[in-house]
Amino acid sequence: MMQGVESEESFVGDLYQRFPVTISKGKGCKVWDTNNKEYLDCMGGYGVALVGHCNDRVIQAITTQAQELITCHMSVYNNVRLNFLEKFSKIAPINLQKTFFTNSGTESVEAGLKFSRKFTGKPGVLALNGGYHGKTFGSLSVTYNEKYRKSFLPLLDNIQFIPYSESNTISEIVTKTNNKIGTVIVEPIQGETGIIMPPPDFLRDIRNICNENGLVLIFDEIQSGLGRTGKMWAGQHGYYYAPTRFSEGY
Ligand SMILES: Cc1ncc(COP(=O)(O)O)c(C=O)c1O
């Protein structure tokens, strides 16, 4: 079997800037390379490994399920999924009780944008300077950084970016664009751009402005993740969501 850095490069496109290490195993917050050198994993797959590597309960759950049933489309019912949905609804905000399953962050953003478009009937989206939402066409259209966008222009029409500090321009833009804007998408904490917190009250102001103008507000918490910021949802800092059934005592 071929091994190592050069060998893998011969099979994949040159799309990622990579470190020349071959990681072979992990436990908790540590990973080891093929020479058994130990590293502290400060990346966790950009937050995917929420409970670390090879957590015993996660291993057990995956193993048990893989031995029972490997996939189950939404066109039929499944009691394991129901069990998950019941538990998930308890940590979800009380007014956001419906779940839509996706396989990645960018797909979640696509879904959010499409649900909002269907609901409002309006094509326009306001996004934030510095925001990152993924690399498929819709989510790339609301991602700010030129280096990701420039090879794929033109992206979606009717997208505007505003500073990650100035909520007061939102109503003005909505009026100027003849009410074409139906959606605002924001990371409660910007991840890719460098873990940037918005000014105090910024999220609350955006929430209120969206309510006043009938705009759908999407909080992209893909990277801030579940529980990573000290609350279950990053948007809960300052109560920008309705409470959850488990609001107290996280
Ligand atoms: C805030 C945010 N949204 C969306 C995404 C896209 O997620 P994925 O890479 O799973 O498509 C990311 C990825 O880092 C992200 O940080």
CATH number of 9's domain: 3.90.1150.10
- Same domain (yes/no): 106, 217: yes
pLDDT tens digit sequence for 155-189: 999 999 999 988 778 888 888 887 899 999 999 99
CATH number of 199's domain: 3.40.640.10
- Same domain (yes/no): 53, 160: no
Residues with a CB atom less than 6 Å from ligand 1:
46, 104-106, 109, 132-134, 187, 191-192, 220, 222-223
Asked if 156 and 192 touch (Cβ cutoff 8 Å), the reply is no
Residue 72: alpha-carbon gap to chain centroid: 24
Mean local confidence (pLDDT), 103-111: 97
248 domain-assigned: no
- Same domain (yes/no): 45, 107: no
92 domain-assigned: no
Mean local confidence (pLDDT), 112-123: 97
* Residue 39 pLDDT > 80: yes
Q: Which domain holds residue 204?
A: 100-236
The verdict on pTM exceeding 0.85 is yes
- Same domain (yes/no): 132, 206: yes
Q: How confident is the model at residue 48 (pLDDT cuts 50, 70, 90)?
A: confident
Ligand 1 atom index nearest CA of 190: 1
Q: How confident is the model at residue 242 (pLDDT cuts 50, 70, 90)?
A: low
Length reported for the chain: 250
Axis crossing angle, helix 169-176 with helix 202-213, rounded to the nearest 10? 30
- The residues, ordered by sequence, that sit 6+ positions from 106 with a Cβ below 8 Å of its Cβ are 133, 134, 135, 136, 139
Of 19, 47, 65, which residue is a domain's last?
65
Question: How many domains does the chain contain in total?
Answer: 2
Q: Give distance in angstroms: CA of 88 to centre of ligand 1.
A: 21
- Same domain (yes/no): 232, 112: yes
Q: Report the residue among 15, 132, 164, 187 best suited for mutation to probe ligand 1: largest number of ligand atoms under 8 A from its CB.
A: 132
Give residue 116's identity as a one-letter amino acid code: S
94 domain-assigned: no
* Residue 99 pLDDT > 70: yes
pLDDT tens digit sequence for 133-162: 999 999 999 999 999 999 999 999 999 999
Q: Give distance in angstroms: CA of 2 to centre of ligand 1.
A: 31
